[in-house]
Each structure stands twice: as structure tokens, then as C-alpha cells.
Structure 1
Amino acid sequence: MSTPKISRRTFLHAGGAAIALPFLEIMLPFGKTAWAAGQAPLRFACLFYPHGTTQDSDWFPTFVNNQLIMNASGMLSPLDPYVADISFYKNLMADNWSLHPGGVTTFMTAGFTPQQNVVNTCRTTDQLIADKLQATGLIHSIAMGSDELSGGEASISGIYGTNISWIGKETPNTRLIRNSQIFDLIVPGGSSTTTTTTTTSSKTKSRQSVIDFAKDSITRLNGKLGSQDKKTFDQYLTNLREVEQKIQATEPPVTPPGNLTLNPAMATCSSLASKGSCADYSLDMDIKMDMIALAFQADRTRVMTHMFDPEPGYRNMSFISGVQGLAHEISHWRNDPAKLGPMVQKINKFYASKFARLLGRLKSMSESGGTVLDNSIIMYGSSMMDSHNHDVTNLPLILAGRAGGNLQQGALRTFPTRTNMSHFHLSVAKKFGAAVTSYSGTSSTINIG
């Protein structure tokens, strides 16, 4: 047998929705594994968190007995279970002079900004990788973000502080915020197929899942699958339903074909005058991490980015235990190191826990030849190290995943002082075979693993 029994682009139709399938053995030619057939899909994601950290001595781990040991500051302790799946990089510099907005814009380009308050943009790394990984039926890339927008700084427009993914010069990638909109890309028609029914006697409402509409198709497909494929498929449906339930719990149903409007709007705690908790922000981040994992498992897109928040950002971070105040004000921790320094570290730990959530999801997703994490590169970091000094000479940066065996992990890699990030981005793009010989002013790569 030379052809797959089921096409990689098979969809289960559920009313008006279409559920893509995860990567299964049954999709491969007879007698071949995914790696032998060269068919395991590769994925790339970039997670950006705002306002950097305290200082490099609080960020970098040590390397003892061939294993990373997380820093005693504790802000990266959520990554302890994944030390064999990640690597740290020292002395990477973003060559910009435009503080918060410029740092965000150049995070994925290292675009040279020769003078203060000037921002240069270009097609970012994620787009170069998406060009290479694009295939029939795939969404080219998905850019996500929070409900906050940057107000700009020092005559620089807030558009620069709000976008890390750029299609081209002065053209940001469309940044999606609403979870149901993103879910509809992953499961076409998903939120419009999900319906609300009312029980007359109790007046209670229950919402059906897209999975409910596809029961017959799911049963037929299960009859064709081997034991490992059944486990993979069942896990995938479980993940899909969990994401769907979280979105249903935070957003009202939509009657097709109208546009979804939150009523009431989700609380944001983004106002300068806001006080108290922002419980929905943490949940929103969980949902977005789970949707990255779901989209990668279903192979709906192979490239996604998410900005945890823009810069400068003024979210009230008081929902984190031991933290009180607004993100940007806390980030200037040297104004009161004893009080604000620990707060910055707690905020960093909160962000790291979301990164760890994604790694855990991807690592739990088995596919032929390994896991979804094995077949991915996940970039995590910020546009400055010391947030008080806006230090861009040694960025906090982590790569996770193995790019299908093309990236070695579990290392602390040190480069010469002030190594421009453009070398790093070109090196990452080449791990995916992107057809680019130079990028952002350099044609030289560095050893990223």
C-alpha cells in the first residue's frame, strides 16, 4: 500500500462546523513511521511577556552534572519539570533605542534602530517560518494578544508596542483577542454550531458541543483506528472539549451568522484606576495556551504567536499573591528594590507558569515519532532584561522543543557579549528550512543547539 488510508486533511463534519483530525498513524503510507516518512509536521510558537525581569543574575540557571538547575529566585520554578526540553541563551542583544514600543517591535526581528525614538519593522521570523511550513488547508499563521493596547511612548505610536508579528514593513499581523474567534479558526464554525437549549421546567440552559454533532463520524472513525491512534484521537477530543467549555463559560453563545459581542464585556483590570483582582486574565491566558496546543495537534496552523500584554502596559497585577499595583510601575523595581523586586519576580513566575502550561500540553500530545513538543520550537521571552534600566543587551530568552530532532535541548548557551538577535532569528528560521540567506542585516548564523 503506497497511499494513506485517511488524508491528512480529513475533517469530521459537525453540523455547520468542521473538526480537523490530529496526526495519526493511519494517515501514513503502509509500513512507515512519521519520522521515516518525513511527514511529522513541525510547528513554531512565540510567547512574549512584557517588562522583562529584575536582573540577569535572577534569571539564568546554572548547569550542574549536565542538567539545568533553575535560579534560586524561584521565578522560573514552573519550568522545573521541563529542564530537558528547554535551553537558555546568554548575551543576545536587541539593537534598539526606542524603549518599550521599539523593544516589542524588534523582539522578533532585532531590527536595527539607529537613533532614539525611531522604529524599523520588517517581516518577522514567524512569518518567514510560516511561509516555509505553509501547506494546503493550513492557516498561514495566527497572532494572538490580550485585551490591552499600548498607548505608545515618547512620540512612538502604540501600534509598535502592541504587535510582535509583522507581515512586512509597517504592517502588523492581525492580532486576535476574542477566544471564540480563534476557536472558529481551529474548528471552523465551532462557536456557531455550539447551541443553547432551554429546559422549560427548570429554565436552565445547557450548551451542546461540536463533538455532540459529530458523534456518528467519530464512531465510524474509531472503528478504523489502531490502539495508539485511538488514544491520540481520544486525547485530542478531550482537549478540544476542555477548550470549548472554558470559552463557553466566559463568553455567551452567538446566533449565526452574527458577530459575537461580549455582553457584559469581560473585566480587564487594565485601567490606571482599577483595584483588586483580575481573575479573568489568568483564565484567558490558559485558554490561549490550550488553543495553541489544540491548533498544533489538529495541524490547523503551524505558526502562532501570543503577546501576554503590550508595552508599556498598565494592567493591575494585584490578582497575584504578594503583588500590589500596576505592571509598568512595578517594573521600575529599583525605585524600591526590597518591595518591588520580589513583585517583579512573582509576576515573572506567573508568566512562566503559563509557558509551562503550554509545554505540558504539547508534551502530553503523543504523535507518531514523539510528541507535539518534540516537533516544535517554542520561543519564550521579553524585550528587556532589567526592566528598570530597560536593558536590551542580554535578553531573557528560552527555546523549548526539538524541531523534529533538529534542536538539542537542556543547555545554557553563552554567546559573545552583545551578539545581535538577528543572528539568532536567522538561525531559528533555518532550523525549519526557511529559504532565507540573510535577515535583518545579517547572513551569519549562531549555534542555537
Structure 2
Amino acid sequence: MRRSTRRTFLRAVGASLATLPFVNMLADSVAQAGGEELPLKFVAVYHPHGIAAEYWAMRAGDTETSFDIAYENCSLQPFDDPAAYGRSFKDKILVVEGIDHLSNANGHDSAGTMLTGSRIDGKKPLNLSLDQYLAVERGLGADTRITSVALGVGMDGTESGQTLSFGAGGAPLPKIIHPVEAFNLLFAGLVVGDDPEAQARAARQRELGQSVIDFVKGDINRLRTRLAPAEQQKLDQHLTSLRELEKQYDAPSAGGPACVVPPQPDASKFPSVKQYNGGEPYFDAITDAHVDLLAQALACGITRFATLFMNDLSYANNPLGLPTDNHGSVAHTYDASPVGNDGRPGAGNPETWVPLARFNRYSYSKIARLMQRLDQLGALDSTLIYASSDMGNPAQHSKRNVPTLLAGGANGKFRMGRRIKLRADCPADAPWCGESDATFTPVTNSRILVSIAQAFGVEIESFGSQPDPALTTGALSELT
């Protein structure tokens, strides 16, 4: 909670100014200087291809608070690598085993379940995603320059298998895949400090941008009266987007002791950005650019809600030394032991575990980089990162036991530095049970989403759309 120092500051500037976004940013800076807790921020990160559970799950001898993630091939190793990231972040992660995505769709489409807790119907979920619920519906992003931001690597599609953010009714929202466009959204026209030339340049940009918005809004309002209700709803979505743009022109400043405008990403480092169009060799650089921009935007208070949809490195001579087709030759060839196959019998093939674990470690290295950047900027303790995938066992396209990681300080709302292993979905004597069996007792990711909402002070008891409301109800008490 932002306590007395922030309230005192807002009273001092007066009611007429206190509603402006940049004043709220400055208030956060004042509050931090006074030792107060900053507003909680949220980042959801998707990584493809499930998990090699043999190098991710708890091992014999591990306990909830005492566990090793630095052993050879462990995919979680980046979180305990001071040499690479300046410090260990082992005390800032919470690894959860046993979470299920009940999407009623193929494994890849289940990315749309990660933030919605919903079944997938016609390539889209049945309800909005948690980032949009908190930022838009509950208004927690209203006082920031950008209500929420969705970034992606390689794919600009909006089907449930290609994005994380969905509006009302499960309507997919666009995401940005070019780092320069992400920079322009987050930082163009932003002024930090009192440089008169920069302020004048930003003022001209805002005046021009507002003129364009006023013209477009006038056209939309004139057209609206001529359309049927369904078409009017579509126009209303455009008006919402325009209001988001207006916020950017109303918020020329940013606050925070570590707030600087970063340099614009060098577009020459990624001459192509799209998958299947030559972008693959640049995905690593694109991911790093997105991570760094997100960290700075969160530290500046430009936004509090973000999603990042990562990709693989499917191209010849990739830096991981993996086959050109990470999907077909790594994920699909994974031959799991019972650890990675929901307790089902079979020894599996250890040779197939290592390549997938290597890719998993790469994905987690990007989350460790985000944590490192946030830590350097003083924003890690007030940020909650939720990372997951669309599948558990990718060779089976299984939506059971998907890798689930919470990270950051989360303003103390969750007890970090732990591993949690939830009950198995099926009893040991019936490992092949499924959703139609009475013995199938899943723990859905809706429980995670309810817990996150409550951490933001939104007292809901359910989130998502499943045939049985019990599957979407209740926070996951183990997190706290």
C-alpha cells in the first residue's frame, strides 16, 4: 500500500493535479524516498515447449526451503548464478509443481489459458486475461502512462496459441514484436528531467498527436450512430484504444530515482523480426531488447502490467547447439520418465531430456535477466513475475503439470525462496486417469490467478471459465 508520504504529496499538489498520470509517478518516487512500499507491478512471461521435468522437478533430498538448482543440466540454474547475473535470485523464486491448464484444446493453444484460466473455444478463451482484468476492468492501470503492454517475439498473431492478453469476452489483443515499436510506445515523447529543448520537442509531439486523435474521434462518433449495436461495440473498442493514446500525450514526465529514457534499440540488430520470414536468428537480441525495455518502463512507473510472449531459436547453428527445428526435433522427441509423464510407467530416454532442458534453461535465463535489470533499477521487490508454458510434457501435448514459476519480491505477498509440490492429479494406482474419471483431481492455474489478484488487493474468489466452477475457485493457500 502507498501510505502517508504519498498521500501527503498528493494533498500538497492539489486535487486538480493529483489525477494526472505523471503526478502519480512522482508520488511513487516521493514515497520510495520515504521508505514506503511501491505499487505492485505484474509481468507474465510465456516460454514455449513445456518442460523437461527430470531437470526441473524437485529431487530426492530437496525440501520446500532447501533445494539445489545449480546441478548439471538443471533448467532453473540461471536463478542461482551470481557470476552471470550479479547475485543469486534463488530467494526470489517460488517454483510450483502440479498446476494444470484445462484448456480443452491442443497443447499449443493452451497458452491462451495461462492468464485466463479458461477453456479455449474457437481459438480464443471464454473470458478476459488477468492482466486486463486488473489493469482495465479494476482500474489498476488507470494512473500510469500505459495501462498495459503486450510484447512478443516473432509472432504477431492473436490466436490463443500466440498471445497472452485478451479483453472482454476473450477478444484477443495485439502485441508488439519489434523492439523499436515497443520503445516508441513506452518512451517516445517521455521527458525525464528539465531539459528545455527536450520538453519543447515533446510538447510539439503531444500537440500533433492530440490533433490527430481529436480528428479520428470525431469521425468515429459521427459514424457510430449509423451502425448496428454489434458494430458499435467494435467502434467502442477503437475509442478505448484512442483513450489509451491520449493518456500518453497527457503524461509527459516520469518518476523514480532510477528512471531514465533508455536509448532506442538499434534496428540494424534485427533486420527481420517475424517468424518464417527470416527473423529467427534475431530472436535472442529481440528478447533481450524487450526485457530491458520492460524493466525500465516498470521502474519508471510508465506501466504496471506487462506480458512477454517468448519464442524458440529454430534456426541453423543457433547458440544453444540445438537442432534447427526446436519444436519437432527437441520438444516432440522428448521421451519422459514418470517424473515428466505424470507418474505413468516407463524409463524414458535420458538423451532426450538434455536438449529440452537446455532450451528451458535458455528461457529462464531471460527471466533472470529481467530480474537482474529490475534489481539494478530498484523495482524487483515491488514486481511479481509469473512464468509458465502451454504444456507440461511437450511430446504428449500434455496440459498437466505445466511449469509454473513466480518470481520477484511481490511486495511480500508470497513467500519466495521455496519449492512447492502439489498433489498428483491421479492416484498412484491409476496414473492414466483423465478428466472424466472421478479420481482426477487437478489444481488449475485459476488458483494461481486468484492468488495474484488478491495480492493486488482485489478480493475475488474465482477466475476463469470451466464446466465445474470449483476448478476456478479459491486462492492457492500454499503460496503464502
- The structural deviation recorded for 1:142 is 0.6
Match 1:214 to one of 183, 186, 195: 195
CA contact (8 A) 1:278 1:318 kept: no
Matched letter for residue 361 of structure 2: K
CA distance in 1, matches of 2:326, 2:126: 26
Match 1:127 to one of 103, 124, 132: 132
Matched letter for residue 3 of structure 1: F
CA distance in 1, matches of 2:316, 2:351: 14
Q: Tell me the residue number matched to 1:300.
A: 302
Matched letter for residue 96 of structure 1: S
- The structural deviation recorded for 1:293 is 0.6
- Same amino acid, percent of matched pairs: 20
The residue matched to 1:377 in structure 2 has which SS? strand
- The structural deviation recorded for 1:180 is 2.1
Matched letter for residue 77 of structure 2: S
**TM-score scaled by structure 1?**
0.71
- The structural deviation recorded for 1:87 is 0.5
- The structural deviation recorded for 1:21 is 6.4
Q: Which has the higher helix share?
A: 2
- The structural deviation recorded for 1:439 is 1.4
Match 1:60 to one of 57, 61, 82: 57
The residue matched to 2:367 in structure 1 has which SS? helix
The residue matched to 2:458 in structure 1 has which SS? coil
The residue matched to 1:57 in structure 2 has which SS? helix
Q: 1:137 to 1:85 in 2, by over 3 A?
A: closer
Match 2:473 to one of 438, 443, 447: 443
Q: Tell me the residue number matched to 1:175.
A: 175
Q: Tell me the residue number matched to 2:324.
A: 325
CA contact (8 A) 1:378 1:399 kept: yes
CA distance in 1, matches of 2:372, 2:32: 25
CA distance in 1, matches of 2:105, 2:316: 25
- The structural deviation recorded for 1:67 is 3.2
The residue matched to 2:167 in structure 1 has which SS? strand
Q: Tell me the residue number matched to 2:42.
A: 44
CA distance in 2, matches of 1:47, 1:327: 19
CA distance in 2, matches of 1:47, 1:126: 12
Number of equivalences? 364
Q: Tell me the residue number matched to 1:359.
A: 371
RMSD value, Cα: 3.4
Deviates more, 1:392-401 or 1:180-189: 180-189
**TM-score scaled by structure 2?**
0.67
Match 1:100 to one of 104, 107, 111: 107
CA distance in 2, matches of 1:65, 1:160: 34
Q: Tell me the residue number matched to 2:457.
A: 433
Q: Which has the higher strand share?
A: 1
CA contact (8 A) 2:64 2:418 kept: no
Q: Tell me the residue number matched to 1:349.
A: 361
Q: Tell me the residue number matched to 2:75.
A: 75
Question: Mind listing any 5+ residue stretches in structure 1 that lack a counterpart?
Answer: 13-19, 151-157, 191-209, 219-231, 252-264, 367-371
Q: Residues 337-366 of structure 1, C-alpha deviation per residue, up to 9 Å, x if partnerless?
A: 566532222211111111100011111222
CA contact (8 A) 2:124 2:159 kept: no
In the TM superposition, what are the counterparts of 1:195-234 in structure 2 within 5 Å? 214=195, 233=257
Q: 1:85 to 1:314 in 2, by over 3 A?
A: closer
CA distance in 1, matches of 2:272, 2:106: 30
Matched letter for residue 187 of structure 1: F
Q: Residues 33-73 of structure 1, C-alpha deviation per residue, up to 9 Å, x if partnerless?
A: 323xxxx111000000011122x232124545933321643
CA contact (8 A) 1:363 1:373 kept: yes
Q: Tell me the residue number matched to 2:436.
A: none
Q: 1:326 to 1:149 in 2, by over 3 A?
A: farther
Q: 1:213 to 1:168 in 2, by over 3 A?
A: same
Q: Residues 154-207 of structure 1, C-alpha deviation per residue, up to 9 Å, x if partnerless?
A: xxxx722111111122411221122222212222336xxxxxxxxxxxxxxxxx
Q: 1:77 to 1:105 in 2, by over 3 A?
A: same
Q: Tell me the residue number matched to 2:92.
A: 85
Q: Residues 287-326 of structure 1, C-alpha deviation per residue, up to 9 Å, x if partnerless?
A: 10111111111111100001003xxx79337412321221
Question: Mind listing any 5+ residue stretches in structure 2 that lack a counterpart?
Answer: 81-87, 200-255, 336-347, 425-441
Q: Residues 57-102 of structure 1, C-alpha deviation per residue, up to 9 Å, x if partnerless?
A: 3212454593332164322211112110000111111112322343
The answer to whether the aligner puts 1:184 opposite 2:150 as a matched pair is no
Q: 1:299 to 1:267 in 2, by over 3 A?
A: closer
Q: Residues 398-433 of structure 1, C-alpha deviation per residue, up to 9 Å, x if partnerless?
A: 001232122210111222332111122111111111
Q: Tell me the residue number matched to 1:15.
A: none
Q: 1:184 to 1:52 in 2, by over 3 A?
A: same
CA contact (8 A) 1:49 1:381 kept: yes
- The structural deviation recorded for 1:381 is 1.5
CA contact (8 A) 1:22 1:299 kept: no
The answer to whether the aligner puts 1:146 opposite 2:153 as a matched pair is yes
Q: 1:267 to 1:300 in 2, by over 3 A?
A: closer
